[in-house]
Each structure stands twice: as C-alpha cells, then as structure tokens.
Amino acid sequence: MKKNATIATVAAAAGVAVSTVSRYLNGHYVSQPVRARLGEVIETLGYSRSWTARNLSLGRRGCIAVVVDSSADPWFVQLLTGIEEELSARDTGLMLASLELRGTYDPGLVLEWVHARRVDGIITAKSQRRERPLFRACAEARLPTIAVVPDEAPPGAHVVSCDNVAAGIAVARHLTTLGHSRIAFAGGPAHSLDSRHRLRGVQIGLSEAGVGLSPARTYSCGSWDTPAGEAFAERWLDGPRDATAVVLANDALAFGFLRVAQQRGLRMPADLSIVGFDGLPQGELFLPALTTMAQPIREMGRAACRTLFASIESSGQVGRTVFPMHLLVRESTSLPPDGISLCEVSVDTQVIRSVQA
C-alpha cells in the first residue's frame, strides 16, 4: 500500500479533496486541523510526491542558478551558505556559475541557461556593468532575477542590498568620536553604487561632526580585490599621507592595505587607524583585528533565495530589500597618534534602519 500511495489515496484517507492535498503539499493555506490530519496520513501511507512530475506540470525545471565573478570570493562563500540554508527546506537544485572561472570573463554558459530556460530563476552576486546583456536576456525571457549588491541597479531585477549611507555615517561617527579629524576614504570602482553610497555616508557623518572630507583624501582603488588594496597602499604611503585614519570601502581592500602598511613599518592603530566594510570572518585573524562595518551576508543570501521563490510563484516580483549593517569595533582603530577623544560617548552601532520594499 505504501508503494502505491498517490495524492488521491491520501485525499481519500484524510477525507478531503485532492485539491486540498495539493494546496498542503505546495505550501498554501490549509486549516491547522486538516494540516495535522494530512501530515499523519502521509506518514502512515508513506506517500512520497514526485517532484519531477510536479515541476513538469508547472512548467518548471526544479533548479535555480547562482552567478558570481568567482565562487572563491570569501564574501560570496558567506552568501552561498545563506542560499543553501534556505534551499535545504525546498526540493530545488542549484546550478553555480563563476563568470571568471578560467581567468577570463565568459557569461556564455549562463546565457545558454537563460535562453534554453534551464533554470527557474537566477540570483546574481556583485554584478557589474558588463552583466547588462545578461540582465536584458533574463528580462526578455521573463526569468525571475535577484541581484545581490549590484554595482548598478539592473532593470527587471529585485535588488538585495545594505543601507550603505547609514553605514558610512556610523563609521564617520566612530572615528570622530575617537578624535580623528583627518580621514581618508578609498573606494572600489568609481561607478559602484556601494562605493558611492558608503562615501556619501562618511561625508555626511563627518559633516555632522564639523569635519570635512577633502577631495585630496578621497580615492578610487578601481576594483574590490586585495591586490587593489595593496596597490593603493603603495601609492598612498609614497604620498603626503596626512590622514590619521583610512576608511576602505570593503574588507578585501583593507586586508591588502594592512599588509603593505605593516610591511612598510606602520603600526596600526598607533600610527594609523583602519576601517573596512563587509565583516568578513578573516578580519578577526589579522593583527590588529580589523574594525569593520558588517553586512548580514548569510541572511542576505536567505532573503535573496526566499524572494526568488516568491517571484517564481507570482511571475515576477521587482523591488528592493535593504538590510542594516552594524559596526564591529576591533583593534585596528583607536585615538589618533597625537590626539584625544572628542567625547566619551560611544557610537550606537544599532541606529541603522532597515528599509523593506
């Protein structure tokens, strides 16, 4: 009997309509008493639904795609963990694509997935301008798409990001509270939304404290990786460098900067305070441990996955989900070399609001 159990036999044994069993299996509303009865009957009969048949009946593939420049990116590893946590409760597969898998940019495989409708939806991470053709292809195919922290807002995709302006303000407040008034900012790519918004937040926070951010202390590293942080450190340390604190627009840049600065004999934070963004676990392993504005990366992955499935069910859901960030104060920031704290009030790192769209 267990081998022959079908949705019809489940319905008959539970005394409900087949449509009620279908609603229950698909996660739609069923009253609690009926839900409990169906659970008992399914366990007794040993019913196992055919997910292949279900997907075929709905015109779906039972698989989603996750796309990133490199799956070795430590930030992405955290995001993928969150996506997997959400997928563990769903009978859906995952196809992973690194756009620079062999060292050169190649979106061909993902475009093939889109055109052949190999997947039911796509999550992209850290997409750039060069992904515009990919987003256009997704829009033309009416393929639900989620963009996590894109460098620019892609049309037709739901965006999952962080409140970078509020985060920048909190970083500025932290540094000015310690007594810093000469602060430098090093961003990622000049066109990046995250980089521009973090810079804007730092500018606002410094302005609130009566401190300006000189254009001469504002830089672009050109990319987000550790080698770019190293190259910036070499240039900056060879210049006038009158700042007592440097804010790097992400942790990878900060890691590269820290490495070169230490090689050049600087002591952090005695000679220079350093702040990053992202909250990567590796930041705790540095000496000094990196003060950073942390993103809830794993929760962002879970949210991206949930939103994608909602979009698949509703045939498109475009909007924005914005998460707060929080300041992790570690060893890489302290009083400026020749200064004292401007005040004794600690920075409230929780005063960052989340905006849900």
Q: Are residues 208 and 137 in the same domain?
A: no
Strand partners, 294: 278, 326
What is the distance of C-alpha 52 from the center of its chain?
A: 31
Q: Are residues 228 and 246 in the same domain?
A: yes
Specify if 12 maps to a domain: yes
Q: Residue 296: what pLDDT?
A: 96
Q: Residue 13: what pLDDT?
A: 85
With a cut of 70, list the residues of the chain below it in pLDDT. 1-4, 26-28, 48-61, 315-317, 339-357
Order of strands, sheet of 273-278, starting from the edge strand that comes earlier in the sequence: 218-220, 183-187, 245-248, 273-278, 291-294, 326-328
Type of residue numbered 170: A
pTM here is 0.76
Q: Are residues 30 and 149 in the same domain?
A: no
Give the structural domain span for 315: 59-162+298-323
Q: Residue 319: what pLDDT?
A: 87
Q: 310 is written with which tokens?
A: 């909602």
Q: Residue 268: what pLDDT?
A: 94
Specify if 176 maps to a domain: yes
Contact 186, 249 (CB under 8 A): yes
Q: Residue 350: what pLDDT?
A: 38
Q: Are residues 214 and 75 in the same domain?
A: no
Specify if 1 maps to a domain: no
Exposed, middle or buried, 356 (CB in 10 Å: 0-12/13-18/19+)?
exposed
Cβ-Cβ contacts under 8 Å for 140 (sequence gap 6 or more): none
Specify if 27 maps to a domain: yes
Helices (H), the chain: 7-14, 18-25, 32-45, 51-58, 74-87, 108-115, 132-140, 164-178, 193-208, 226-237, 251-263, 297-314
Q: Residue 93: what pLDDT?
A: 87
Report how far residue 107's alpha carbon sits from residue 252's, in angstroms, rounded to the nearest whole number.
Answer: 24
Specify if 2 maps to a domain: no
What is the distance of C-alpha 229 from the center of its chain?
A: 20
Mean pLDDT, all residues of the chain: 86
Specify if 254 maps to a domain: yes
Q: 345 is written with which tokens?
A: 């009030």
Q: Residue 61: what pLDDT?
A: 58
Q: Are residues 330 and 241 in the same domain?
A: yes
Specify if 54 maps to a domain: no
SS3 category, 174: helix
Q: Are residues 230 and 146 in the same domain?
A: no
Q: Are residues 224 and 129 in the same domain?
A: no
Q: Are residues 205 and 152 in the same domain?
A: no
Our count of domains for the chain comes to: 3
Specify if 71 maps to a domain: yes
Condensed to tens digits (0 to 9), the pLDDT of residues 133-154 reads: 999 999 999 999 999 999 888 8
